[in-house]
Chain A
Amino acid sequence: MSEKHFKPEELTAIGYQPRRRDWMDPHVEFRRGTFNYSANPKSMEYLGLPFVRKWQPTEDDWQLPSNWKEIILEGLRERIHKFRSLRIFMDICVRCGACADKCHFYIGSGDPKNMPVLRAELLRSVYRKDFTTAGKILGKMAGGRELTVPVLKEWFYYFYQCTECRRCSVFCPYGIDTAEITIIGRELLNLVGIGIDWITTPAANCFRTGNHLGIQPHGFKDSVDFAADDLEDITGIKVNPSVNRKGAEVLFVVPSADYFGDPHYFGFLGYLALFHEIGLDYTFSAFASEGGNFGLFHSHEMMKRLNAKIYAEAKRLGVKYIIGGECGHMWRVLHQYMDTMNGPADFLEVPKSPVTGTVFENARSTKMVHIAEFTADLIKNRKLKLAPERNDSYKVTFHDSCNPARAMGLLEEPRYILKSVCNHFYEMPENTIREQTFCCGSGSGLGTDENLEMRLRGGFPRANAVKYVQQNHGVNLLVCICAIDKATLPPLMDFWAPGVAVAGLHELVGNALMMKGEKEREADFRGAPLPGKEEKVHV
């Protein structure tokens, strides 16, 4: 399925009037383009997941284990006792509806079950039926629903139509976070062997090779070397990145798409140029060759299993601290889960920039610094020579990736950097940026082609705001700090706002960075001629 099957006018013919059918009556239609395929049995086996079998959501019989209902209800009971968030979020929603039109999937689809409140009610109704006195006695009158196969199918459909972006939780008067509900909902589904391949297979790859793409150690080394060569072609400077080098000061961890994907790769060149320029003593790891963590989209347990390698590798290599590249959900895990799950990192030191002497007190426990924090500090202390005019062909806007925005509050650092490395920066409308930013529509493991219609719908609010600055300010470059964004925003832009390209923050840093001893640059990192050099490159 490709985007040429639709026209924007078709996808924006959205009716927000709820259907007549009561939501408590479970009903779901698996329409092609709106759901994800089931997990590959091989990947499930590799990870040791239960109830490995071949099935697809479109089939009537999902071949559930005979005691599937007991397994799920027991799983729910266990999680109610393990997560205060779940228990409270099940109990206190007043259905005020403030979250409804905050969800990009609801805005883009008009499907009432994509209102965060109702998506949560799909689980909450079962909770009420089986875990509350009123629900046990009054059943449907008290909003309770029996857990049946159609209810389970609804869970599957709608828990995978949530990118766990947490925008709704910003507006909820009680902070109810739908991500908590769908994360746990997906955990429950996985208990009976219901998962999607776009999550399970990357997780299996990551467990085996160290990264989602399944790149083996030599492939990783080749990518890094290749990038160093490319950078030499552009700048005339030979950088010498190392892999698995013991005794380096810093371990640098990036999402694997950074050294394989387009446009991620140009940002990867930016990292290499920057670290070379400041003389940072750092190493990559071919084992911890992934900062991203599709385990987050599978279960808390899988998240911990995939995340463990980062501290393990930092310890083995004997580094002092860790820097992390541009990635959204990767940073959710690093910021909110890693220390709790796999810490304490007492074998590391509190990060201190070797160039500016700045101590990153905000990372004094995890010992892991976001590259935007690191670079902003360099620029503020005037340690970099920058030529922002090299980015003059770009009119830039910034997309706050959901997780750095709503799980960290990393809002000003990237903006400060952007304003230092380019001359034309325009913000999108205020209801669509910072903590109110809209998801790309493909996060949390939903960025696959079989799901394309839903991705385009979910990404519509983001794209619409980009289109606004494109029309008003001529914006032609959407900068972001997330690997999933970089992979999924380009097709989204092609569909909704053609003419806007997507770039990572450190691509623009690399373009603007005047390196000591560099040759006169003709082109930027993506090969486009620098302003004033157009003719030379075209010859």
Chain B
Amino acid sequence: MKIFYSLLAVAVLITLAWVGTASGGLYYLFGVIFPAAAVFLFLFGIVYRVVKWARSPVPFHITTTCGQQKSLDWIKSSPLDNPSSTLGVIGRIALEVLFFRSLFRNTKMELKNGGKLVYGSAKYLWLAGLVFHWSFLIIILRHFRFFLEPTPAFVTFLQNLDGFFQVGVPVLFLTDIMILGALSFLFFRRVVTPQIRYISLISDYFPLLLIIAIAATGVLMRYFIKTDLIAVKQLMLGLFSLSPLVPEGISSLFYIHLFLVSLLLAYFPASKLVHMAGVFLSPTRNLSNNSRMKRHINPWNPPVKVHTYEEWEDEFRELIKGAGIPLEKE
């Protein structure tokens, strides 16, 4: 049911953009207003989220240590999995963000006959996640050739790298294949694995399908149903220079693509996709393990009712005396 609703939602959105532009002629709405609103919602939403997170303090030093601590000089510590310095923390977060360090540890448990547990390597989730995220980033950066004039050198470089194998005309981008492959894996994993299907919500299927639809429409436009790229670039440059114009001759397929991207941007801050920003603020990862070296301050550390030594001695005075334990007051 949840899968169906998510599919339906994406189908409806595609139809909306298609009908809206092909029959309705709402080019300005789909080409200018929605994208502009989406960018605004995205930026505003992310800032709002991060500010909200940042306003909740980190009262306690709750690092998860995943390696040897720094203690005695002659014991080798793990500066990245159990950092004791800021530099180590930066390294740890970098490994986490760039290479999904924690997910790399993933294992798969199996209960064999005879009640024996075995833990096998399970790197597929890590690999698919990494391929998807990196491809997505490269694809976004590649798109800067539509947003900037002249095209920056790094964009051309990435494009050449991505099309390294020079297959087909236009040249096939590796990331196009990789992102669709990885997304398909991530989607089917959710659908096929009973446990993962059990925990999945609409908000898990929907963004996956949305991004699949974005990638698919993009691939269609590049390789199969060509659109007027010069006009597209005019539209995008207009948007980015805040002097919007709607050139003629852009296909509805492009508007579908753009509408889905706009939705993704607008949806981003309100959804689980904010993990992109959240991972940097996660207290188990971004604190160094130095809680015995340096006092961590809790801004709301309220006084509590304690049982003082004096009260304790008063209650047990005779017993303390009888046991020959020294007293404060005889």
State the A residues within 8 Å of B (CB). 8-9, 12, 14, 16-18, 23, 48, 80-89, 91-98, 100-102, 107, 112, 115, 117-118, 121, 132-134, 141-143, 166, 169-177, 180, 207-210, 216-218, 221-222, 243-246, 286-287, 300-301, 304-305, 308-309, 312-313, 316, 335-337, 339-341, 343-344, 358, 360-366, 368, 373, 376-377, 380, 405-413, 416, 429, 431-432, 434-436, 460-461, 464-465, 468
B82 surroundings in chain A (CB, below 8 A): 409
Nearest to B103 among chain A residues (CB) is A173
Nearest to B93 among chain A residues (CB) is A175
Q: Say yes or no: is B323 at the interface (Cβ < 8 Å to chain A).
A: yes
Where chain A touches its partner, the secondary structure class is: helix
Given contacts A312-B308, A364-B293, contact A244 B72 (CB under 8 A): no
Interface 1/0 per residue, B303-324 and A, CB below 8 Å: 0111111001101100110111
Q: Please, how many angstroms separate the alpha-carbon atoms of A33 and B116 in the complex?
A: 23
Are A112 and B195 in contact (CB-based, < 8 A)?
Answer: yes
- Shortest Cβ distance from A376 into chain B, in angstroms? 6
Are B304 and A305 in contact (CB-based, < 8 A)?
Answer: yes
Are A84 and B102 in contact (CB-based, < 8 A)?
Answer: no
Q: Please, how many angstroms separate the alpha-carbon atoms of A465 and B118 in the complex?
A: 9
Nearest to A118 among chain B residues (CB) is B199
Are A218 and B320 in contact (CB-based, < 8 A)?
Answer: yes
Nearest to A376 among chain B residues (CB) is B72
A361 surroundings in chain B (CB, below 8 A): 293
Are B195 and A175 in contact (CB-based, < 8 A)?
Answer: no
Q: Please, how many angstroms separate the alpha-carbon atoms of A48 and B304 in the complex?
A: 12
Are B296 and A408 in contact (CB-based, < 8 A)?
Answer: no
Nearest to A206 among chain B residues (CB) is B307
Q: Say yes or no: is B59 at the interface (Cβ < 8 Å to chain A).
A: yes
A366 surroundings in chain B (CB, below 8 A): 291-292
Are B312 and A435 in contact (CB-based, < 8 A)?
Answer: no
Q: Please, how many angstroms separate the alpha-carbon atoms of A244 and B317 in the complex?
A: 13
Nearest to A98 among chain B residues (CB) is B106
Are B109 and A218 in contact (CB-based, < 8 A)?
Answer: no
Which of B27-35, B170-178, B279-287 lies at the interface? B279-287
- Shortest Cβ distance from B8 into chain A, in angstroms? 12
Q: Say yes or no: is B24 at the interface (Cβ < 8 Å to chain A).
A: no
Chain A to chain B: the 4 pairs with minimum beta-carbon distance, closest first = A409-B69, A92-B278, A409-B65, A12-B115
Interface 1/0 per residue, B89-118 and A, CB below 8 Å: 000000010001011011111010001110
Which of B10-18, B134-142, B269-277 lies at the interface? B269-277
Q: Please, how many angstroms separate the alpha-carbon atoms of A93 and B275 in the complex?
A: 7
A88 surroundings in chain B (CB, below 8 A): 53, 278, 281-283
State the B residues within 8 Å of A (CB). 5, 49, 52-72, 74-78, 81-82, 84, 96, 100, 102-103, 105-109, 111, 115-117, 119, 125, 129, 193-204, 270-272, 274-275, 278-279, 281-285, 289, 291-298, 300-301, 304-309, 312-313, 315-316, 319-320, 322-326, 328
Q: Please, how many angstroms separate the alpha-carbon atoms of A391 and B159 in the complex?
A: 66
Q: Please, how many angstroms separate the alpha-carbon atoms of A218 and B321 in the complex?
A: 9
Nearest to B77 among chain A residues (CB) is A409
Are B272 and A93 in contact (CB-based, < 8 A)?
Answer: yes
Q: Please, how many angstroms separate the alpha-carbon atoms of A142 and B295 in the complex?
A: 41
B111 surroundings in chain A (CB, below 8 A): 12, 14, 16, 107
Are A336 and B62 in contact (CB-based, < 8 A)?
Answer: yes
Nearest to B271 among chain A residues (CB) is A134
Are A115 and B306 in contact (CB-based, < 8 A)?
Answer: no
A177 surroundings in chain B (CB, below 8 A): 62, 64, 284
- Shortest Cβ distance from A160 into chain B, in angstroms? 20
B294 surroundings in chain A (CB, below 8 A): 365
Which of B58, B282, B292, B328 has the largest count of A CB atoms less than 10 A from its CB? B292
Nearest to A97 among chain B residues (CB) is B196
Q: Please, how many angstroms separate the alpha-carbon atoms of A107 and B59 in the complex?
A: 32
Are B195 and A115 in contact (CB-based, < 8 A)?
Answer: yes
Nearest to A103 among chain B residues (CB) is B109
A216 surroundings in chain B (CB, below 8 A): 316, 319
Are A406 and B64 in contact (CB-based, < 8 A)?
Answer: yes
Are B323 and A222 in contact (CB-based, < 8 A)?
Answer: yes
A308 surroundings in chain B (CB, below 8 A): 304, 306
Nearest to B58 among chain A residues (CB) is A84
B282 surroundings in chain A (CB, below 8 A): 85, 88-89, 92, 174-176
Are A85 and B284 in contact (CB-based, < 8 A)?
Answer: yes
| Candidates B84, B109, B198, B284; contact of A175 at CB < 8 Å | B284
Q: Please, how many angstroms separate the alpha-carbon atoms of A278 and B275 in the complex?
A: 52
Q: Please, could you name 5 A-B residue pairs with CB atoms under 8 Å apart, sorted by A?
A: A92-B278, A98-B102, A170-B102, A336-B61, A336-B63
Q: Please, how many angstroms separate the alpha-carbon atoms of A80 and B57 in the complex?
A: 10
Given contacts A12-B111, A85-B58, contact A18 B198 (CB under 8 A): yes
Nearest to B106 among chain A residues (CB) is A98
Are B199 and A407 in contact (CB-based, < 8 A)?
Answer: no
B198 surroundings in chain A (CB, below 8 A): 18, 23, 112, 118
Are B298 and A218 in contact (CB-based, < 8 A)?
Answer: no
Are B312 and A287 in contact (CB-based, < 8 A)?
Answer: yes
- Shortest Cβ distance from B313 into chain A, in angstroms? 8
Are A413 and B75 in contact (CB-based, < 8 A)?
Answer: yes
Are A339 and B292 in contact (CB-based, < 8 A)?
Answer: yes
Nearest to B300 among chain A residues (CB) is A82
Q: Please, how many angstroms separate the alpha-carbon atoms of A479 and B177 in the complex?
A: 52
| Candidates A91, A362, A464; contact of B292 at CB < 8 Å | A362
Are A143 and B202 in contact (CB-based, < 8 A)?
Answer: yes
Are A305 and B199 in contact (CB-based, < 8 A)?
Answer: no
Q: Please, how many angstroms separate the alpha-carbon atoms of A17 and B296 in the complex?
A: 44
Given A175-B96, A364-B292, A461-B109, 9 more contacts at CB 8 Å? A8-B115, A18-B195, A175-B64, A208-B315, A300-B60, A362-B70, A368-B292, A409-B69, A461-B117
Q: Please, how many angstroms separate the alpha-carbon atoms of A361 and B274 in the complex?
A: 39
- Shortest Cβ distance from A317 into chain B, in angstroms? 10
Given contacts A121-B199, A134-B270, contact A245 B66 (CB under 8 A): no
| Candidates B5, B107, B199, B298; contact of A340 at CB < 8 Å | B298
Q: Please, how many angstroms separate the alpha-carbon atoms of A85 and B286 in the complex?
A: 11
A8 surroundings in chain B (CB, below 8 A): 115
Nearest to B282 among chain A residues (CB) is A175
A12 surroundings in chain B (CB, below 8 A): 111, 115
Q: Please, how many angstroms separate the alpha-carbon atoms of A80 and B55 in the complex?
A: 10
Given contacts A287-B309, A312-B309, contact A169 B64 (CB under 8 A): yes
Q: Please, how many angstroms separate the alpha-carbon atoms of A443 and B61 in the complex?
A: 21
Which of B61, B198, B283 has the largest count of A CB atoms less than 10 A from its CB? B198
Are B293 and A411 in contact (CB-based, < 8 A)?
Answer: no
Given contacts A173-B103, A312-B309, contact A97 B195 (CB under 8 A): yes
Nearest to A85 among chain B residues (CB) is B283
Are B129 and A96 in contact (CB-based, < 8 A)?
Answer: yes
A48 surroundings in chain B (CB, below 8 A): 305
- Shortest Cβ distance from B97 into chain A, in angstroms? 10
Given contacts A170-B105, A435-B66, contact A83 B270 (CB under 8 A): no
- Shortest Cβ distance from A197 into chain B, in angstroms? 20
| Candidates B69, B201, B279, B305; contact of A174 at CB < 8 Å | B279
